[in-house]
């Protein structure tokens, strides 16, 4: 297993993000162009500098989908070489495995992930055979893939692992690792697990599989628990964590990369609470200021909007609209968005605006409101919001109102001369 940076990182207790926005994200009805996949992989790697390949696996796509998808994966493997570890994903068939290896071979830090059904129901649907036979076939495919090119790392993703026989899953994980698998990914394919169950299952499988096995998580968000479940996996010792920018993935998505990474890195006491007091999760600490720009890139490419309530990268981060938060901003936010994310705080006008907020916005627009003008301007803002039926008041309209105040004041002055 020499040269497998992902496995080495996990065994050293470092966190590895398995990025799924270009692969599982496609099942969210999005399609990233080859150019964008390369750009995204490179930008994500830059979060960790030279240690990008140790901290990021970029699942570039599913080569068996079509010729265009194969070429997209190939381009990422070639053009993002050195920025991240690149993975091609395939079904558990010999033909798919050969194709996946071909799509990434010849470049550094590349891997293939073979999807193998773990539960009886999933095995019957995907392979028309019992789970034990499907899992044994998956182990054989690991050997075959390693034989095709020993410079390509191989991972196994056990689909529907949480509803499978966990003893059988542990046996398969150990056998796959002995056959040369770098990581064994346990997938909550239908996203219906509770946090308390996730931790128990990872602990149980790890105990049965042995310390040589590197387990990874792939947890969906159908019940809104993707992040909580992933944190439970971390607390159970898992260090390779699947995620996706903006949570893009099948159905309701999965844990969002920006949320998971920020939570693990933004505050030392949170990091220790999640990973343990002696945790040393980074070869190079992540540059969190890169998160908002990458999220905006993904939003623009996919058409998935960033909303006012999107954590970490949403349009509401760093905005202030009411009086007390304006005077004491640090009392009303869990972190400094300027310091950690590079987001400059902004004051916006809504129907909740205080005179201080209105005065501050007016100053930004080049108007100095006097003591008598401020209350009138505040009343105008509130009336405007209710008149338009929109909480956020357009600043150009406010600027027009302020110009009117200035003209009226000038006329009054001239009239008294």
What pLDDT was estimated at residue 403? 87
Name the percent of the chain lying above pLDDT 70.
Answer: 97
Cα 58 from Cα 92, distance rounded (Å)? 20
pLDDT at 41 over 80: yes
pLDDT at 57 over 60: yes
Cα 168 from Cα 173, distance rounded (Å)? 9
What pLDDT was estimated at residue 304? 95
With helix as H, strand as E and coil as C, how does 232-255 read?
HHHHCCCCEEEEEHHHCCCCCCEC
What pLDDT was estimated at residue 334? 87
Q: State the burial class of residue 233 (Cβ atoms within 10 Å of its Cβ: 0-12, 13-18, 19+).
A: buried
Q: What is the pTM of this model?
A: 0.91
The torsion of the CA quartet 341, 347, 353, 355, rounded to 10 degrees, works out to 130
Confidence label for 2 from pLDDT (cuts 50, 70 and 90): very low
pLDDT 10s digits, 289-336: 999 999 999 999 999 999 998 999 999 998 888 878 877 888 888 889
Confidence label for 412 from pLDDT (cuts 50, 70 and 90): low
Cα 230 from Cα 275, distance rounded (Å)? 12
The torsion of the CA quartet 292, 298, 304, 309, rounded to 10 degrees, works out to -10
Cα 242 from Cα 306, distance rounded (Å)? 21
Token pair recorded at residue 110: 């590349």
The helix-helix angle for 166-179 and 131-148 (nearest 10°) equals 20
User: Mean pLDDT, the chain, as a whole number?
Assistant: 93
Confidence label for 416 from pLDDT (cuts 50, 70 and 90): low
What pLDDT was estimated at residue 318? 87
- Mean pLDDT of all residues in 208-235: 96
Confidence label for 414 from pLDDT (cuts 50, 70 and 90): low
pLDDT at 411 over 70: no
pLDDT at 1 over 50: no
What pLDDT was estimated at residue 49? 97
pLDDT at 160 over 90: yes
As its CATH architecture, domain 5-302 has Alpha-Beta Barrel (3.20)
pLDDT 10s digits, 88-125: 999 999 999 999 999 999 999 999 999 999 999 999 99
Rounded to 5°, the CA angle 276-267-57 comes to 70
Token pair recorded at residue 116: 């193998």
Residues of the chain with CATH 3.20.20.70: 5-302
pLDDT 10s digits, 189-216: 999 999 999 999 999 999 999 999 999 9
What pLDDT was estimated at residue 96? 97
Radius of gyration for the alpha carbons in the chain, expressed in angstroms and rounded:
26
Cα 342 from Cα 332, distance rounded (Å)? 18
**46-63 burial code (b ≥16 CB/10 A, e <16):** bbbeebbbbbbbbbbbbb
């Amino acid at each position: 297993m020499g040269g497998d940076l992902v496995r080495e990182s996990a065994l050293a207790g470092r966190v590895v993000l398995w990025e799924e926005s270009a692969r599982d994200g496609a099942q969210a009805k999005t399609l990233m162009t080859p150019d964008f996949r390369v750009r995204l992989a490179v930008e994500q790697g830059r979060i960790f500098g030279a240690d990008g390949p140790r901290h990021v696996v970029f699942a570039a796509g599913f080569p068996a989908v079509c010729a265009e998808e194969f070429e997209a994966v190939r381009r990422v493997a070639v053009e993002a070489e050195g920025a991240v570890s690149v993975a091609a994903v395939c079904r558990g068939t010999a033909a798919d495995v050969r194709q996946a290896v071909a799509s990434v071979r010849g470049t550094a830090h590349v891997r293939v992930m073979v999807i193998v059904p773990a539960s009886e129901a999933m095995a019957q649907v995907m392979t028309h055979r019992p789970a034990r036979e499907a899992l044994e076939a998956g182990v054989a495919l690991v050997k075959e893939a390693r034989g095709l090119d020993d410079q390509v790392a191989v991972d196994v993703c056990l689909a529907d692992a949480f509803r499978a026989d966990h003893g059988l899953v542990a046996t398969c994980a150990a056998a796959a690792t002995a056959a040369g698998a770098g990581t064994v990914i346990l997938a909550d394919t239908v996203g219906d697990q509770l946090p308390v169950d996730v931790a128990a299952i990872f602990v149980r499988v790890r105990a049965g599989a042995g310390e040589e096995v590197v387990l990874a998580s792939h947890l969906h968000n159908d019940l809104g628990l993707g992040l909580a479940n992933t944190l439970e996996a971390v607390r159970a010792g898992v260090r390779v964590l699947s995620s996706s920018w903006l949570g893009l993935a099948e159905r309701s998505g999965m844990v969002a990369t920006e949320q998971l990474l920020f939570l693990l890195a933004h505050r030392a006491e949170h990091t220790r609470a999640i990973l343990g007091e002696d945790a040393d999760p980074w070869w190079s600490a992540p540059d969190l200021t890169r998160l908002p720009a990458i999220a905006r890139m993904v939003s623009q490419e996919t058409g998935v909007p960033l909303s006012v309530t999107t954590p970490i990268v949403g349009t509401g981060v760093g905005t202030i609209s009411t009086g007390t938060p304006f005077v004491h901003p640090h009392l009303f936010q869990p972190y400094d968005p300027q310091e950690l994310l590079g987001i400059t705080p902004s004051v916006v006008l809504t129907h909740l605006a205080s005179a201080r907020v209105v005065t501050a916005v007016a100053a930004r627009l080049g108007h100095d409101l006097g003591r008598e003008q401020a209350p009138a301007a505040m009343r105008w803002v509130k009336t405007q919001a209710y008149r338009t039926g929109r909480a956020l008041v357009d600043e150009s309209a406010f600027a027009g109102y302020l110009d009117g105040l200035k003209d009226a004041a000038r006329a009054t002055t001239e009239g008294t001369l």
